[in-house]
Amino acid sequence: MDSAVRSAYVRIGREDFDVQSEYLALRDQGEHQSKSGAIVTFTGLVRDAEPDRIVATLELQHYPGMTERVLRDIAAAATERWSLNTVRIIHRTGRLLPTDQIVFVGVACTHRAAAFQGCEYIMDCLKTQAPFWKKITTPEGGEHWADFKVNDAEAARRWLSGRSSR
Amino acid sequence: MINVLFFGCLQDAAGADRIQSDFQPTPADLIASLATEKPALAEALRQPQVMVAIDQTMAGLDSPLTDGCEVAFLPPVTGG
């Protein structure tokens, strides 16, 4: 199967990432790269405020093993649906501060429409399916677990409603 | 023996990130076995939005458990 030879890179850990290095990897690595005419990347950052409170730090927890597998499954589904040539997903764990990078998704494929949609699909699925949990610490030292957002679920659901790739 | 893992807010309810339990046939039976000692935890685990994974694969409350398996209770995810 063609998609089986296409590559997905998934990394979860405490280390930060460099967007330029990730972009270059999307552009230059993999046997399909000469076919890619579009690269779309997304970087998620830690905000300094939730809707109702100030955020001092975030602590990111995951389920080692299962989280990696869920991300690989999401990447495989996106690769299949939009004929992506390369996918790179990085998600950080541990303690993070406002403005820290938390997540990176990058895709390379033939045309831009599929690249935009594939990248957005991966992020929507990551937000709703990948086993990560955020604990928020406020400047006063209070701690609580972040709430699941309903609009994240709605964003992910619209990909199920038969909206097709172009 | 069953290895039971808790994530996110369920760790607060459990007071631990993992425990060991005697064998139970299903996750539902496992929750029931915890209810006597930890009723608040059992109630948290029964919330409909809590998902169950058996050996890192999504499963249901009535899915069969095997001796030595790993059961994880996952509250709604909040990554990204």
**Is the predicted pLDDT of residue A155 greater than 50, yes or no?**
yes
Contacts of A60 in chain B (CB under 8 A): 79
Asked if the model's pLDDT at residue A39 lies above 80, the reply is yes
- Nearest CB among B49, B53, B79 relative to A127 is that of B79
- For residues B64-73, give the mean pLDDT: 98
Q: What is the average pLDDT across B23-32? A: 98
**Mean pLDDT, residues B33-53 taken together:** 95
User: CA angle, A71 as apex, A65 and B45 as ends, to 5°?
Assistant: 60
Can you give the pLDDT at residue A6? 60
Strand boundaries in A25-163, DSSP class E: 38-45, 49-50, 53-54, 57-62, 86-92, 94-96, 101-109, 132-137, 143-145
Identify the CA nearest to B1 among candidates B56, B54, B69: B69
B40 pLDDT band, cuts 50/70/90, is: very high
Q: In one letter, which amino acid is A40?
A: V
Instruction: Give the per-residue pLDDT at A5.
Output: 44
* Block residue for tokens 């602590």: A59
Q: Do A126 and B74 touch (CB under 8 A)?
A: no
pTM for this predicted structure: 0.91
B78, A63: Cβ pair inside 8 Å? Answer: no
- The more confident residue out of A18 and A147 is A18
Residues of A in contact with B79 (CB under 8 A): 60, 62, 91, 103, 126-127, 130-134
* pLDDT of res. A166: 42
* Residues of B whose CB is below 8 A from A131: 7, 74, 77, 79
Q: How far apart are CA A149 and CA A155, in angstroms?
A: 10
Mean pLDDT of A134-159: 90
Give ipTM to 2 decimals: 0.94
A34 vs chain B: nearest CA distance in angstroms?
30
**pLDDT value at position B22?**
96
Q: How far apart are CA A146 and CA B51, in angstroms?
A: 17
Integer Cα distance of B11 and B74 in angstroms: 10
